Structure 1
């Protein structure tokens, strides 16, 4: 049953589990079925608002010591969700179609590890 102001099961479940949106369950299902993200991988999330996929991607990287990185890009400013995310998650407020090659390279995990403080990255 749907209606204005009523939340479905997945909305309530997302809130209960600390996800910022019900869309987290889509990536959780894909991850379970296809194992898209492995320990230590690098993930680029284009159109990352509101951040639920950032949360699942970070969880899928495994323990912090395994490494890896998640970079989210969106036209809107997106704060890294505090639940399910760690220091490997960064967000960029930008139009990906207008990023220059030098700017895009600055978002790579290798560059992020070499230059820990990039003013364009928020995390």
Structure 2
């Protein structure tokens, strides 16, 4: 089952085992594709302790025919939130994510030094 590719950075394909292939968009020979894919994978790993994001199962490296590579993650059935009724659930999710420690220095996850100075 293929899901609509609505993103500008990746598309989604539902796999037979129920998981989701998050296929990164790139062109053949893109020298930055692997690095971008690994930053995305690291973000999934970083957010995992919050228990609010899909779990990362596998990283498929860029290759011929799949130049951006793919991440295999849990498929989570969902819908857009109903506002304003579900604002509390949204706030709870953001609070869980924001209780995580900052990514380690040297992590590939982009980090802003000071939002007031940059």
TM superposition score normalised by structure 2: 0.28
Indicate the structure (1 or 2) with the bigger Cα radius of gyration.
2
Query: Greater relative contact order: 1 or 2 (C-alpha under 8 angstroms, separation 6 or more)?
Result: 2
